[in-house]
């Protein structure tokens, strides 16, 4: 079965954008709780040292969304393309 790689890439990038936007909004609205959760999940015991360097601005959220959407599309498109090549 062939996968339409452009549609698969688009769907993957939309999913990545939704997840990234949700996490960015949580980080903007609840910074202490979100950083504590992220530190727990990623097992970062020294997270207190870098929290002062983390700045969430609208510009950083937009740049992050754009780069994650682009990379998400590229990765999902590449996965579908490789799958289609191996399917032959």
What DSSP letter does each residue of 38-51 carry, written as one string? HHHHTT-TTHHHHG
In tens, the pLDDT along 61-76 reads 889 899 999 999 999 9
pLDDT of residue 46: 64
pLDDT of residue 4: 95
The pTM score is: 0.76
**In the chain, which stretches have pLDDT less than 70?**
39-53
Name the residue range of residue 82's domain: 5-86
d(CA 29, CA 21): 12
Q: How many domains does the chain have?
A: 1
């Amino acid at each position: 079965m062939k996968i339409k790689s452009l549609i698969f890439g688009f769907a993957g990038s939309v999913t990545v954008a939704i997840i990234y936007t949700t996490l960015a909004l949580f980080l903007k609205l609840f910074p202490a709780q979100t950083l504590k959760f992220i530190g727990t999940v990623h097992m970062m015991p020294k997270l207190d040292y870098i929290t002062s360097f983390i700045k969430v601005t609208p510009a950083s959220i937009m740049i992050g969304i754009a780069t994650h959407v682009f990379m998400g599309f590229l990765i999902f498109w590449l996965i579908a393309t490789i799958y289609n090549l191996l399917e032959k």
